[in-house]
Structure 1
Amino acid sequence: MKPFDLNIRHLRAVAAVVDTGSISAAARVVNLTQPAITQGIAKLERQICLPLFERRPGGMVPTAAAELLAPRVMAAIRLMDSRHATAAQVSAFLALARCGSYAAAAVETGLSEPSLHRAVGDLSLAVGHILVERRGKGVALTPRGIGVARRFRLGEAELRSALFELALLEGREVGRITVGAMPLSRARLLPAAVTAFHALHSEISVGIVEGSHAELVGPLRDGEIDLMVGALRPKSTDDSIIQTPLFEDRPVILARAGHPLADLGGPITPEAMTAYPWITPAEGTPLRAQWQAMFAGAGAVAPSVPIECGSVIMVRQMLLHSDFLTLLSPDQVAVELEAGWLVKVADAPGDVSRTIGVTTRADWRPTALQRRFLGVLKEQAEIIAAAP
């Protein structure tokens, strides 16, 4: 079942009944008749295959399912910020936003193009703004449409979490956890955590989306991914995300086996640091800042960088066939170090380290299984931190 298979007005009615304790009071809150609310609750109960209320003389007593559902519904309504949008309209609009054309959205949803046009047009009237505009043979979201799509995606994520929690209430482990994997999480931490989590909860699928912080933070804010794992950014004024540290990573200076500095056997001198060219990530990345801090710690001026590259695979290949140096976490090239293709030249001078952790939305309320995944992630981080 998809989140917007559920009627939004019926969901609001359930939350209102939980809040007020009676259908009559809820009817005044959501502006529906009592029979409409009764019928809506019955339909939702059939859809989720769980009772939502116990009918008693003193009023409607919410079941565990309703207690789970109501907070998620209220959060979704608050995030979507549109009392007049229907589930069908929201679903059509999000499909159009994903696909970029009515034709492609029609294929994805199984609806006709005229139906999609009508649903998106009605939604524009409901929110009071033009949401899409023609761009050649396709369409693009207007600036207002981009904001509306973000709010609807966050609401959809809340309702999806509600469905997962209701399934768990029935004893069924279903759902999906989508993780944004930044470079420093991919070599060791995230593979270990995903493997350990799957051994405990094999019915839960885990999706891994690779990218940089800049590439992943937008989908995180939109609710398309649940959490990001990797190097944390310096504290900022952005209160829409929360960063939770897991452990400290200390990068080292690396080169190919047989490099002139391969047998240095001790601390690296400023002269040696500037005698060979470097490969580093681009300006503005945490590792580039650490590279610059390393030279400052050694009392040397950082040289110009002839090659900027953030791909570990490409950096490794370039190191193997040149005298370049680079600064990387040993975890990122553990296989190459073990095979003897690359060698550690020296520890980085100065206090060069990066905090590895989890980044989430400030208003994210993880499901029980998402909390368990976070727990496994922290356990694996503790193992890495304790390793020599």
Structure 2
Amino acid sequence: MEIWNLNLRHLRAVGKIAELGTVNAAAMAVNLSQPAITQALGRLESQLGMPLFERRHDGMIPTQAGEAFAPRIHAALEHVQSPHVTMSRLRALLALAETGSYAGAGQATGLSLPSIHRAVNDLSLALRRPLVVRRGKVVITTEAGTQLAREFRLAKVELETGLSEIDALRGHETRRITIGAMPLSRARVLPRAVARFMRRRPKVKLTIVEGSRVELVEPLRSGTLDVMVGALRDPLIETDLAQHPLFDDMPAFFGRVGHPLAGSDAGPEQLAAYPIVLPPQGAPLRDSCERFFAAAGVPLPAVPIESGSVMMMRQIMLESDIIALLSPDQVTVEVQAGWLCELGRPPKGFHRTIGMTTRGSLRPTEVQREFFEDLAAAAIEEG
């Protein structure tokens, strides 16, 4: 089932039953009558096809499904917060934020344009702040609307996760993990972890989205990605994210086989004589390279090309005397094929830490936790 068939007010009531242990206490907490809450619970259990509680004379005891779903309800409502938010309003604002027009939101949701207009306007009035503004034919969210849409997206992720956990209890595996893969993670650690995981969990769907940190960080923060794997940032700017180190990577300078510095174990003065291709400013590898030359008192080599693509770097190095600072794992195949060779290596202290980045609020599911453990195991093997 889709989350849009759920009722947020009913979910609040069910969450209170799980928290307080009785229908009567929950009714008082959410200002609904006891029969109304009983009816809401019955409807939700009917939608899910599983009981959420055992009815006992001394209260309501969560079933396995209830234990899985109640924390997701609580987490979703933490993102929603306001009692003025209904599922239709949440859906309308999300669709409008993602498509940029009322017509696009209507096509994405199947809702009528008047319904979307009314839902967004009512939400804006209830919260007493403008959520969208029109710029010509395009509708954009205000700062408040953008932040609210992000919270709504995270609430949606929590509820979808809860439903997938219940599906798994019924024997229907619908769970998935979406992974953001930065360049270094794609070399060996992530493929090894994926292989380990899929041997145990062949029915869980893994989606791997490749990109730079700049491209992946916002999808991670908004719930589109579950985890991002790659070089960690020090310091971490985004306060809503959490970093989990896996291993330290020691990069080296590489060039084509036949490069004038090949076989010389070149130092900073020799390396500085050749142009270098580096990732953009702010990337840990770029920072390590700049620190290496600064520590030696040698000016940074010319950087005529900025790129984080190993494929691009490889081709450029093969066609010229340009050099690059890379992890040895990233060019293992090229070195073994006799295309590239190591020219020199920075001393210890110029490493970068590779790890996982997640939302600070992430409550890992069973399968997510298993995958994170496989990443850690793959990192140990790599070390």
TM-score interval (norm. to shorter)? over 0.9
1: CA distance, partners of 2:5 / 2:200? 30
The CA RMSD measured in Å over matched residues stands at 1.8
Question: What amino acid maps onto 2:284 in structure 1?
Answer: P
| TM-aligned CA deviation for residue 200 of structure 1 | 1.8
Contact 1:173 1:201 in 2 (8 A): no
Alignment correspondent of 1:54: 54
Alignment correspondent of 2:342: 344
Q: What is the aligned-residue identity percentage?
A: 51
2: CA distance, partners of 1:149 / 1:274? 48
Q: Does 1:8 align with 2:3?
A: no
Q: 1:296 to 1:88 in 2, by over 3 A?
A: same
| TM-aligned CA deviation for residue 236 of structure 1 | 4.1
Contact 2:267 2:344 in 1 (8 A): no
2: CA distance, partners of 1:8 / 1:348? 56
Question: What amino acid maps onto 1:205 in structure 2?
Answer: K
Alignment correspondent of 1:22: 22
Q: 1:123 to 1:109 in 2, by over 3 A?
A: same
| 1:127-142 map, 5 Å | 127-142=127-142
Structure 2: 5+ residue stretches without partners: none
Give the stretch that moved more between structures: 124-133 or 6-15.
124-133
Alignment correspondent of 1:316: 314
Q: Does 1:371 align with 2:362?
A: no
Question: What amino acid maps onto 1:70 in structure 2?
Answer: A
Contact 2:280 2:306 in 1 (8 A): yes
Contact 1:85 1:127 in 2 (8 A): no
Give CA-to-partner distance per residue, 1:314-373, whole Å, 9 cap, x none: 111111100101100121122211211111112224532111001111111100010011
Give the stretch that moved more between structures: 44-53 or 300-309.
300-309
Alignment correspondent of 1:278: 276
Question: What amino acid maps onto 1:308 in structure 2?
Answer: E
Q: 1:26 to 1:324 in 2, by over 3 A?
A: same
Alignment correspondent of 2:32: 32
Give the stretch that moved more between structures: 225-234 or 347-356.
347-356
Give the stretch that moved more between structures: 251-260 or 234-243.
234-243
1: CA distance, partners of 2:269 / 2:22? 79
| TM-aligned CA deviation for residue 141 of structure 1 | 0.5
2: CA distance, partners of 1:62 / 1:367? 18
| TM-aligned CA deviation for residue 182 of structure 1 | 1.4
TM-score by length of 2: 0.95
2:378 to 365, 377, 380: 380
| TM-aligned CA deviation for residue 298 of structure 1 | 4.1
Alignment correspondent of 1:79: 79
SS at match of 1:104: helix
Alignment correspondent of 1:65: 65
2: CA distance, partners of 1:190 / 1:127? 43
Give the paired residue count: 383
1: CA distance, partners of 2:269 / 2:257? 20
Give the stretch that moved more between structures: 197-206 or 371-380.
197-206
SS at match of 2:272: helix
Give the stretch that moved more between structures: 255-264 or 208-217.
208-217
Question: What amino acid maps onto 2:142 in structure 1?
Answer: T
TM-score by length of 1: 0.93
| TM-aligned CA deviation for residue 379 of structure 1 | 1.3
2: CA distance, partners of 1:371 / 1:70? 19
Question: What amino acid maps onto 2:206 in structure 1?
Answer: V
2: CA distance, partners of 1:320 / 1:209? 28
2: CA distance, partners of 1:23 / 1:77? 19
Alignment correspondent of 1:152: 152
Contact 2:274 2:301 in 1 (8 A): no
Structure 1: 5+ residue stretches without partners: none
| TM-aligned CA deviation for residue 59 of structure 1 | 2.8
2: CA distance, partners of 1:59 / 1:382? 47
Question: What amino acid maps onto 2:118 in structure 1?
Answer: R
| TM-aligned CA deviation for residue 123 of structure 1 | 2.0
Give CA-to-partner distance per residue, 1:208-227, whole Å, 9 cap, x none: 22222233222222222111
Contact 2:168 2:175 in 1 (8 A): no
1: CA distance, partners of 2:242 / 2:258? 44
2: CA distance, partners of 1:308 / 1:18? 54
